[in-house]
């Protein structure tokens, strides 16, 4: 579901709290998305392909951070989560130390701290909210949340504003557009928050080339013709700030030579397989609630909740497996190429495709019977004997057929013994 929403909103980076994690990875993400998690798997950051070279920076029990390059300067993205049942001081101290280590660099903090304050929408201020307000003041941060914003957390009988967005400077806050997307389904009890930062991001993308098929001599010739201008540009570079421009110039010249000498290598696109839905999310929260009630109970009541949680977990696992299979089956049925992405995913190099489909111009549409008839027609085409057609119209001088009397005479004269040889 997140991949479907991302197609609509086209974000560069997604901050998540309490994601569904399986085997140390956020479940349901396309394979070409990058993701990082805190050590307790409660806070995460997802970088889409449009994000320019994100670099993992830091991970603690409740915090995870990455660094990107925006407007020729480093920019840190931080995701944080603090449970309402844990001491918030540990989270705030860890975040403060991380921000202090940035030494004045810009940052954006997205956190679910479960703290109440009138500053960001609640009708009351609790102890956690006071500590968060003091923390924001201590780091000279600027809260992007607005008082009149709709709630970021909604359940049947409650609502709240636990999700906070904090920018490092007033300039960054002024150039940011923060809003709660109340009209877009998030398939969760938390609403999607959109943060648009008007901060230029310089991206250089280059193609990948096939160097195994030759072209090295042509590449060398093209590069030699450019050598004089490259050396002149290097010798003219005096100031340290010009080194970045020189590096980009050399990379562009190398890329130009490669495009002339080598074949382009196509990057395979991975299909988006989204199997997670709101029904599974609801059942997951029911199981979590039962486990919490079991932890707080004693005796027979605890045993009752544990057994109930195990039964629901068993059913939940089967439904998750069925959802994965149905989603994969749906994506496979939409594939028109018989030896396309899914064939390569299943067999890789162990079972190379046959050459039959190359003989029918890769036309794999139609029913299995139509495909089989097309293959049969390609392998054994129906041909007409032109010579036989031309001569069939002309009269032939054929001998008259044998009569019955002649056949009886021949049969009587046949030898009765074993045939020779």
How confident is the model over 59-79, as pLDDT tens digits? Answer: 999 999 999 887 667 889 999
Cβ neighbour number for residue 240 with a 10 Å cutoff: 7
DSSP state of 168: S
Cβ neighbour number for residue 386 with a 10 Å cutoff: 8
- Helix (H) / strand (E) element for 243: namely helix 243-261
DSSP state of 358: G
**3-state class (DSSP) for residue 344:** helix
Strands (E), 182-310: 192-197, 208-210, 263-265
Predicted local distance difference test score (pLDDT) of residue 224: 92
Listed as own residue / partner, the contacts of 381-388 with beta carbons closer than 8 Å and 24 or more positions apart are none
Cβ pair 68, 54 in contact under 8 A: yes
Predicted local distance difference test score (pLDDT) of residue 110: 93
3-class SS string, 84-120: CCCCHHHHHHHHHHHHHHCCCCEEEEEEECCCCCHHH
Domain boundaries, the chain: 1-197, 211-261, 278-334
Q: What is the pLDDT along the chain (421 residues), one digit of tens a residue?
A: 677 788 788 888 999 999 888 888 888 888 889 999 999 999 999 999 888 788 898 899 999 999 988 766 788 999 999 998 899 999 999 999 999 888 888 899 999 999 999 889 888 999 999 999 999 999 989 999 988 888 898 887 888 899 999 999 888 888 888 999 888 877 788 889 999 887 654 555 667 888 888 889 999 999 999 999 999 999 988 887 788 888 888 988 998 899 899 988 876 555 555 788 888 888 888 998 999 898 888 989 999 999 999 999 999 999 999 998 888 788 777 766 666 666 666 666 665 555 555 555 555 556 667 777 777 777 777 766 555 555 555 555 667 888 888 888 888 888 777 766 5
* Separation CA 31–CA 17 (nearest Å): 20
Place of tokens 């679910």: 112
Multiple choice CATH, 1-197, 3.90.1150.10, 1.10.357.10, 3.40.50.150, 3.60.10.10? 3.60.10.10
Predicted local distance difference test score (pLDDT) of residue 332: 74
* Separation CA 142–CA 406 (nearest Å): 117
Predicted local distance difference test score (pLDDT) of residue 112: 93
């Amino acid at each position: 579901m997140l991949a479907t929403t991302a197609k609509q909103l086209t974000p560069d980076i997604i901050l998540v709290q309490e994601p569904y994690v399986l085997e140390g990875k956020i479940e349901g993400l396309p394979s070409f998305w990058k993701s990082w998690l805190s050590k307790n798997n409660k806070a995460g950051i997802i970088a889409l392909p449009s994000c320019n070279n994100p670099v993992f920076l830091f991970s603690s029990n409740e915090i995870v951070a990455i660094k990107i390059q925006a407007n020729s300067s480093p920019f840190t993205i931080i995701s944080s989560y603090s449970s309402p049942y844990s001491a918030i001081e540990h989270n705030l101290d860890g975040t403060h130390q991380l921000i202090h280590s940035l030494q004045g660099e810009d940052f954006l903090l997205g956190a679910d701290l479960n703290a109440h304050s009138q500053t960001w929408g609640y009708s009351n201020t609790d102890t956690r909210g006071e500590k968060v307000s003091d923390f924001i003041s201590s780091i000279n941060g600027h809260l992007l949340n607005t008082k009149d914003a709709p709630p970021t957390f909604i359940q049947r009988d409650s609502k709240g504003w636990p999700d906070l967005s904090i920018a490092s400077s007033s300039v960054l806050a002024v150039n940011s557009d923060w809003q709660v997307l109340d009209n877009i389904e998030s398939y969760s009890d938390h609403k999607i928050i959109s943060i648009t930062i008007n901060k230029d991001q310089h991206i250089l993308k280059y193609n990948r080339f096939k160097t195994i098929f030759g072209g090295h001599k042509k590449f060398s010739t093209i590069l030699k013709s450019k050598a004089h201008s490259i050396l002149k540009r290097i010798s003219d570079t005096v100031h340290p700030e010009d080194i970045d421009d020189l590096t980009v110039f050399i990379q562009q010249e190398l890329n130009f030579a490669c495009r002339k000498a080598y074949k382009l290598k196509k990057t395979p696109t991975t299909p988006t397989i989204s199997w997670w839905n709101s029904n599974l999310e609801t059942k997951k929260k029911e199981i979590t609630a039962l486990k919490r009630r079991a932890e707080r109970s004693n005796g027979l009541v605890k045993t009752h909740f544990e057994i109930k949680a195990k039964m629901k977990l068993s059913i939940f696992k089967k439904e998750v497996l069925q959802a994965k299979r149905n989603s994969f089956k749906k994506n496979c049925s939409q594939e028109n190429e018989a030896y396309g992405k899914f064939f390569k995913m299943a067999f890789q190099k162990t079972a190379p495709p046959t050459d039959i489909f190359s003989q029918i111009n890769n036309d794999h549409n139609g029913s299995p019977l139509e495909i089989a008839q097309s293959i049969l027609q390609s392998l054994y085409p129906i041909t007409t004997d032109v010579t036989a057609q031309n001569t069939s119209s002309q009269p032939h001088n054929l001998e008259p057929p044998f009569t019955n009397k002649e056949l009886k005479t021949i049969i009587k004269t046949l030898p009765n013994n074993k045939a020779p040889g």
